[in-house]
Structure 1
Amino acid sequence: MPSTARVMMVDDHPLFRKGLVQLISLEPKLELVGEACSGESALALVAECDPDIILLDLNMRGMDGLDTLRAMRAADVTARIVMLTVSDNNADVVACIRAGADGYLLKDMDPEEILDQILAATHGKLAISQRLTEILATALRKPDRTGADLLSTLTSRELEILQLIADGLSNKLIARELGISDATVKVHVKHLLKKLGMRSRVEAAVWMVNQKRNQGAH
């Protein structure tokens, strides 16, 4: 990603957007390139703005954030999409991550922390409010099979890639790290998600981080 990340925000609260504009203006590594007040206008704006990262509110009138997220992913929007919302509802968090969100932040976080998490997301890291990490890890546990069982279904290359995803690397960086093409990484990611029964790389990353934590506890 370039030294300055292009940011687009989608939120139907003018006052919150104004505050976020001021917050982003304090960070030289971020550049605001577009604002949308609804899901519908966001879909029209995203092609025009070509952002690196999209900050998306969940509870919007009309087309909500989850529907907007799904529509963007269906339209092959490759920008990193981070939910920025007041909802810490378990089901909302899990639904957004499974629909392809790259992070989930709460509006009541400290402004500096929001900024830090946005910057982390621009570098391929999972941007998630600290108190939601455990919720997500718990929700993503597979009751029918243990983590070791699931990991044993992966090839050594798939396991290697999963560990790099958990470290926050993008497909491009994984390709560079392993000396293979982006397309090959994509194929491996698709296969490992299918084996793990997961729908997104972020879901797999959170699950893998949790596996490592569990192993460390033994």
Structure 2
Amino acid sequence: MNKIAVSIVDDHALFRRGVADIIRQSEHFDVQQEYSSGSAFLSALDTANIELLLLDVQMPQMSGIEVLKCIRERNVDLKVIILTASLEDSIVLDAIRLGANGFLPKDTLPEDILLQLHQVMQGRTVLHADGVALLAQQVRQQTAPLAAALHKTSEQVLLQRKLLSEMTQREQETLKLIAKGLNNKLIARELGISDGTVKVYVKSLLRKLNVHSRLELSVWVHQQLNTADFDIYPSSSV
């Protein structure tokens, strides 16, 4: 069985090595490389053959958020878990918008670290309790004007129709499955297409809806559409 390749970026050597030792005890993961700075990792990004990165958010010179932004400009598929000792609202929201796949507080118990790594590799976005509450608050704030209006305006409906009409049928189907929480492999299996084709559809959806992460795609669906039956309008293109 091939192990999942992991790298760690953290400027605190003792913590970094401690996490690496925990991960190396698992038969499912293998730590390929440890980095003491974000710039050191970015210089090796194009040749780093890894599937998962643990990234410290508070580092000198280049923060984890800055590193994550650079990563997403070059690699949208690499799964990134943010290591944090501080749960500042701005950090959590910025990381989510940039496509972070999870958060790992630095006081997480060793047995829970591996559990969260497994969940992220299964396609889930792992948030701590405070992060979930914060995200829920943001969604409520964004949807409050719509809820207060009770009904969508004709302009909103026309905009939704326009955005959906610009999607191919396969993109609409992919969006629907993303909103249901499926990862790329499960979407590919459901639609009978390759993982690579799903990635193309996801990139196209991110561009057309002007968002930066799968989580934001899912939020868009739940905000804008009737998610009870996912009332997507038929597209003229296939």
Query: Residue 23 of structure 1 aligns with which residue?
Result: 22
Cα distance, 1:47 vs. partner?
A: 3.0
Q: Which stretch has the larger CA shift, 69-78 or 155-164?
A: 155-164
Within 5 A, what are the aligned runs for 1:28-107? 28-76=27-75, 78-107=77-106
Q: Which stretch has the larger CA shift, 13-22 or 162-171?
A: 162-171
Query: Residue 189 of structure 1 aligns with which residue?
Result: 202
Cα distance, 1:40 vs. partner?
A: 0.5
The verdict on how the C-alpha distance between 1:160 and 1:145 changes in structure 2, with shifts beyond 3 A counting, is farther
Deviations 1:40-88 (A, max 9, x none): 0011233333110000010001111011111111122631111111121
Query: Residue 128 of structure 2 aligns with which residue?
Result: 129
Query: Residue 199 of structure 1 aligns with which residue?
Result: 212
The verdict on how the C-alpha distance between 1:162 and 1:177 changes in structure 2, with shifts beyond 3 A counting, is same
Structure 2 counterpart of 1:24, which letter?
I
Contact 1:82–1:105 (CA<8 Å) still a contact in 2? yes
Count of matched residue pairs: 212
Cα distance, 1:158 vs. partner?
A: 5.2
Query: Residue 174 of structure 2 aligns with which residue?
Result: 161
Structure 1 segments unaligned to the other structure (5+ residues): none
Cα distance, 1:22 vs. partner?
A: 1.6
The verdict on how the C-alpha distance between 1:46 and 1:190 changes in structure 2, with shifts beyond 3 A counting, is closer
Cα distance, 1:167 vs. partner?
A: 4.7
The verdict on how the C-alpha distance between 1:3 and 1:170 changes in structure 2, with shifts beyond 3 A counting, is farther
Structure 2 counterpart of 1:204, which letter?
L
Contact 1:83–1:103 (CA<8 Å) still a contact in 2? yes
Cα distance, 1:196 vs. partner?
A: 5.7
Cα distance, 1:9 vs. partner?
A: 0.4
User: In the aligned structure 1, how far is the partner of 2:69 from the partner of 2:114?
Assistant: 25
The verdict on how the C-alpha distance between 1:134 and 1:160 changes in structure 2, with shifts beyond 3 A counting, is farther
The verdict on how the C-alpha distance between 1:95 and 1:181 changes in structure 2, with shifts beyond 3 A counting, is same
SS in 2 for 1:118: helix
Contact 1:100–1:202 (CA<8 Å) still a contact in 2? yes
The verdict on how the C-alpha distance between 1:160 and 1:105 changes in structure 2, with shifts beyond 3 A counting, is farther
Query: Residue 6 of structure 2 aligns with which residue?
Result: 7
User: In the aligned structure 2, how far is the partner of 1:59 from the partner of 1:42?
Assistant: 15
Structure 2 segments unaligned to the other structure (5+ residues): 229-238
Cα distance, 1:208 vs. partner?
A: 6.1
TM-score normalised by L of structure 2? 0.74
Aligned counterpart in structure 2 of residue 176 of structure 1, from 189, 192, 200:
189
User: In the aligned structure 2, how far is the partner of 1:189 from the partner of 1:3?
Assistant: 27
TM-score normalised by L of structure 1? 0.80
Within 5 A, what are the aligned runs for 1:109-124? 109-124=108-123
Query: Alpha carbon RMSD of aligned pairs, Å?
Result: 3.2
